Amino acid sequence: MGKTNALEKTVLRFYDIDPSQLVNLLARFQLKVQITATNKDIPGSFWGNEEAGLIGNQIFLRQDTPVHSALHEACHFICMDAIRRKQLNTNAGNFQQEENAVCYLQILLADDLPSLGRQRMMTDMDAWGYSFRLGNTQNWFEQDSEESRTWLQKHKLINQLNQSTYQLRC
């Protein structure tokens, strides 16, 4: 996940939304939101700067953390197995198939945040520099994500209607 400087300021940040929306959504997945001071490094952040961090069942954010980053890291927590979740400290470590499933799930969960929604999530992912072989996030999501959808269904993270089950992978 790299940033494109011209567009990075256009993404929705934690300070742009009602924080209770994100806190309540992530609590459904047993994640506790911890807010770090704006001038401090974010604990557990793999990418550094304003990117969200993970340690155990805690997700660390600053007010300037992009909401897409928070959901992306949360979806890593959701998609990893229980053994990896128990040892989680900064590096979610995964395989490409799981990484794609994480991206897919973060788009679905964006609809649970009234101030975000999936369309804005996909726009923010593009602005931040997420890369998909069909050129942009929406094309990937609509035309090339069947494998991700199947993976999420196999692990009972979404149902046949393409909706979150609000469960963690076993």
Each domain of the chain, given as residue ranges in start order, spans 13-154
pLDDT at res. 131: 87
pLDDT at res. 133: 84
Helix and strand numbers, DSSP H then E, in the chain = 7, 3
Shortest CA distance to 149 belongs to which of 131, 163, 166? 163
The overall average pLDDT reported for the chain is 93
Check whether 49 has a pLDDT greater than 50: yes
pLDDT at res. 95: 86
pLDDT tens for each residue of 158-169: 999 999 999 999
Q: Which amino acid is at 168?
A: L
Q: pTM of the prediction?
A: 0.92
pLDDT tens for each residue of 99-143: 999 999 999 999 999 999 999 999 999 999 998 888 899 999 999
pLDDT at res. 134: 87
SS3 content of the chain, % helix, strand, coil (to 5): 45, 10, 45
CA pair distance 111, 158, nearest whole angstrom: 14
* Average pLDDT, integer, range 11-34: 98
pLDDT at res. 66: 97
Q: How far from 30 is each of 9, 114, 121, CA to CA, in Å? A: 30, 21, 22
* Average pLDDT, integer, range 1-24: 79
Ramachandran angles phi, psi of 143, nearest 5°: -125, -15
* Average pLDDT, integer, range 58-64: 98
